[in-house]
Structures are given as C-alpha cells and as structure tokens.
Amino acid sequence: MCGVVGMVGFSPVNVAIYNALQVLQHRGQDAAGIVTMDEVGNFHQRKANGMVRDVFQTRHMMRLVGNIGIGHNRYPTAGSSSAAEAQPFYVNSPYGIALAHNGNLINSKELREKCRKARRHVNTQSDSEMLLNILAWKLTAIESEVPQPEDIFKAVRGTIAEIKGGYGVVAVILGVGLIAFRDPFGIRPLVFGERKLEDGRTEYMVASESVALDVNGFNLVRDVKPGEALLITKDGKFYSSICAEHPKLQPCIFEYVYFARPDSIINGASVYATRVRMGDNLAEKIKREHGDLKIDVVIPIPDTSVDVAVQIARHLELPYRQGFVKNRYIGRTFIMPGQSQRKKSVRSKLNPIRAEFEGKNVLLVDDSIVRGTTSMQIVEMAREAGAKKVFFASASPEICYPNIYGIDMPTSDELIAYKRSNDEICKLIKADALIYQSLDDLKAAVTEENPELKEFDTSIFTGDYIVPPASGYFDEIARQRNDDAKADKAWNDSCDALDIYNIGDKNS
C-alpha cells in the first residue's frame, strides 16, 4: 500500500506535492520521492528512504522546479526496504517517463519476461519498475514526435491488457504532461480534483485519497473510474478515456477499515461515516449475541478504531475512555518484519492509563486482527494495568487469506484466524471474549454511505480473488512475505543502502 499524487499547475508544484505526501504519510512510511518536469523538458528528482519530512530538505525542494510533477510514499509490499526501489521510477525512452504506483501486480514474473523480450531492462525487483517498462514499451509504437491524446490512451489500453492486479498509477511524460490510470476493478483508490485560478485557468491534482486535494485547496471532482485513464497536458487540457475492457467497480473494503484517513472520501463514501456505521453495526451484534458480558468501559486501540468505539459505547450506554496513549512516531506494526520486533513495537507504541483499567471489565475495540501479535500484547497490557476481564471487539471480520493487491498481509499460515474458530483465537490472544464484525455488516456500513457501491474486494476474508493469481503465486509470496524472508531482505537492503545507493547520490 502506497500513496501517490500528481499535479499539473501554472506555477511550481513542489510544495503542493510535498503537502500531499505529508497527509498521505499513513499509506507508506518507508520511502518518499518527488519528480518534477520543467518547461525546458528536464526531470528533477529527489527520493530516499525515510519519512517525508526527513527526505525533503530545503535544498532538495529548491531543485524540484517545474509546474508538473508526481510524488510517492512507499510501503514495501513484500518487505523490501531497498533505497533503490524508492519511487518514482524513471526511463529515458521513449520521450522520458517517470512513474509512481500504488498497489501490486500479480503477474510480475510474466511481465519481467515480457520486458526482457521487448529489450527493456528492469533493474530492481519492484513490480512498479516493470509497470513503467511495460508502459514505455507500449508508447514506443507511437510514431509522432509529440503524442496525441489517443496515442496515449492506446498505450494505456495496451498496458492495462498486459498487467494484472490492483493499482493506481500516476506518470509524467516529457513534452506531454501527466497521465493517471486505475485498475479495471478500482481495487486501489484514485481521485482527482481541480483548483480554479483567478485568471480562469484550472489546475489539476490526482491522488490516492481526497485529503491530499483538501490540504492544497483543490475541490474533489470524482474518483477515477475503474479502468479509466486521465491525461492532463502540460498546458492544462484535460482528457479521459476508459481503457479497460469490462470495467467493474469492486474496491478494496479494507481501505475503509484501516488504511484510509477518516477525513478522506473514497468511491463516494466518507471514510469517517463508514467507520461510524461499523460501530453501530458492531454494537448491535454485541447486544444481540453477547448481552451477558458485564462491560464497564469501552476503550479503543488508537487511532483507526476510535470512531467505531465511540459508537459502540453510545449504543451500549457505557462510558467511553481513551485508555491508551499512543506514541505517534512509531509506524504501523503489522508490516514490521519478525515477531520480536513487532512485540517491541507494540510496547513502544502504546502505553496504558492504569486508572482506566484497574478493577474494570473492559471492552477493547480495534479495527482488525491480523497476525494476532498486536492484539495479544494489548490484552496483556490491559491485564497488567489491572483489568479484571478483557473483552475484544474487531471492526472487521476474520482475516484468513493474504492480500495480493497491495497490502502486505502475510501468508495464511501467519494469520491467526486461518483455520481457527472464534474460541481458539480468543484463547490465543488471551481475551475473555472475542467479537468480530460480520462481513455483511461491514459491507452494509459502506453501502449505506454510498448505495451505488454494490460489490467489494473482500478476498482477505473469503479467499475469493476477483483477479485470480496464476498457479504457484501463493507459494512465491509465501517465500517473500514470511518473517525469515523479511529479516534476510532487511539485512540485504541495509547493506545495499550503505554500500551502493548513497555513493554518488546526486540528491543527497
């Protein structure tokens, strides 16, 4: 899961893209990058491992000149943290293209072979670099020196026909402008907005979430449609075309549960409002099926579950308390490599307020349970703080299957709910009761906010993948995503960063 942004303006875009990446930081904290295009026809780039505030210093921002640009926050889908895989990626032929990508391609092995046959070199293991080279390969068919809109859309159609998975893409092409496109099922989010200038001209921004538009004073126009491509030329002309066959909106429902910011609007649904409805529905289930629980207080696991917990407390007519203080400088723990590191991270991330637990039966509310490591540690912390009984509620259903469209959820064997009953999971996390949201109630929480949303990607709950992977794919991601592989990769990446990447880094 990553954050992407692209902008075409009539003044320098570097600060606006930086601002957008700041508010999209929750989508990726591993690396960040910006590429701008100046009027002369040159790219200017800065990218490195780290948070946005650390990657971009004043000297870097001053070099990012130009009225068109793209930005990226990186989240390592398969555990890789190599600085060489920070985005945007760049190729010099044809025209000169820089690209940033949110999501995951499930046919990357096949794409690598196609790149080889097309005599295009892919230098990393990143599927985003493969996507860039596939797009570049399709653009080579254009004969004119300056591509026309239909030339661009034809190349995007060819690209979409080759790639499989979930994705939101932004790219800049020298001499042309900004292009953006979304996968045929709209699994990964992508929105665009506009900002009217006093002289009547219009500036455009494309981003993973609407909050990136808000912070820069852009008005949200709409979501990029499934399989749709946008072209905003360097002089500000806007074009769009559906470039996928049989597009159908089935967005990832986990965006609403966990990843997106509450102040974003995705697929016409307020993330905040959907989380409020999740709380309503979960409270009704607790009343209906767990009315015997003697709950004294409702406490959220900050931050994504706060809105859910408030509604549960309101419906159950119970006190709501902030029982944990969160260290805001710790990243999201379920993507960290290794059980021991995740355990240490939970303890560093949250600290209980003893007065809210001591002598009480507490209902802890979290957005989800993935491996169970975090949940178990939090339950233990509540008991150590003096709780008599600890009940646990999850705003999402049981996560039983890996996500293959851009979220680094582990293989099934590492997921605590895989092939386990509710009672078994409850015992493993050491809770006195465990309540999961039902899948129907989760869907209803989103569709009630936007009735036009009929279907979703719910593969992490059901194992039904709307873009089916090839045979052997899960064995491959098991090798990439298990803890041992991540530990080895982290070591190799650190060596790579020390020995290779920093030497001769012109932007350092």
**Cα separation of 88 and 373, whole Å?**
33
Q: Which of 460, 471, 312, 478 is CA-nearest to residue 393? A: 312
SS3 helix, strand, coil % of the chain, rounded to 5? 35, 25, 40
Measure Cα distances from 372 to 77, 325, 332 in Å. 19, 20, 14
Neighbours of 499 (CB within 10 A): 9
Q: Report yes or no: 407 and 1 within 8 Å, Cβ to Cβ.
A: yes
Which H helix or E strand runs over 60?
helix 58-63
Q: Report yes or no: 426 and 372 within 8 Å, Cβ to Cβ.
A: no
Q: Which of 62, 68, 60, 1 is CA-nearest to residue 33? A: 60
Q: Which of 410, 359, 365 is CA-nearest to residue 385? A: 359
**Cα separation of 508 and 86, whole Å?**
14
* 3-class SS letters over 343-406: HHHHHHHEEECHHHCCCCEEEEEECCCCCCHHHHHHHHHHHHCCCCEEEEEECCCCCCCCCCCC
Q: Which of 56, 64, 58, 63 is CA-nearest to residue 21? A: 56
Contacting residues for 423 by C-beta, under 8 A, at least 6 apart: none
Residues serving a catalytic function are 2
**Cα separation of 409 and 417, whole Å?**
13
Here the tokens at position 340 are 């021991």
